[in-house]
């Protein structure tokens, strides 16, 4: 970044937080650590601190602040263990599942069966 712009940014004063929940940040975090729901925290604020707040406001307050923290570290990847040789693996192997091609119906044979069923139905109707 340009030096001039960096100096201008450094000279700007910090703005105060705008959330009414900011003074109670530690309290909210402690209640969440104790596994209180956002609804319970909102009720707590209404009854003990005379502060009306919606559960979604508490949720959004914590969500925004969690994004401001440093990002979580990515776990290191360790390759999976190698598979045993194919001979030892043969006994445990399940039979291969049929592919889409194997499940297809032979269309000429199906058409022949359908025609035969139609002829049989006509015959039975005329016989009565």
Residue 102 or 117, more confident? 117
Q: How far apart are CA 3 and CA 55, in angstroms?
A: 44
pLDDT for 32 equals: 93
Is the pLDDT confidence value at 36 over 70? Answer: yes
Q: Would you place residue 98 in the very low, low, confident or very high pLDDT band (cuts 50, 70, 90)?
A: low
**DSSP label of 75:** P
If one compares 63 and 1, the residue with the highest pLDDT of the two is: 63
pTM above 0.85, yes or no: no
Residue range 60-88: mean pLDDT, rounded? 68
In our burial notation (b when 16+ CB lie closer than 10 A, e otherwise), range 2-17 reads eeeeeeeeeeeeeeee
Residue 53 exposed, middle or buried by CB count within 10 Å (0-12, 13-18, 19+): buried
Which one has a higher pLDDT value, 6 or 87? 6
């Amino acid at each position: 970044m340009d030096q001039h712009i960096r100096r201008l940014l450094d000279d700007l004063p910090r703005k105060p937080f705008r959330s009414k929940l900011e003074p109670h940040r530690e309290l909210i975090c402690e209640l969440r650590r104790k596994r209180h729901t956002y609804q319970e925290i909102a009720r707590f604020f209404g009854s003990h601190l005379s502060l009306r707040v919606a559960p979604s406001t508490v949720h959004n307050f914590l969500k925004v602040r969690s994004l401001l923290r440093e990002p979580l570290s990515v776990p290191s990847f360790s390759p999976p263990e190698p598979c045993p040789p194919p001979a030892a693996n043969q006994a445990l192997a399940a039979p291969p599942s049929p592919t889409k091609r194997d499940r297809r119906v032979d269309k000429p044979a199906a058409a022949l069966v359908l025609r035969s069923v139609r002829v049989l139905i006509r015959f039975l109707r005329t016989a009565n």
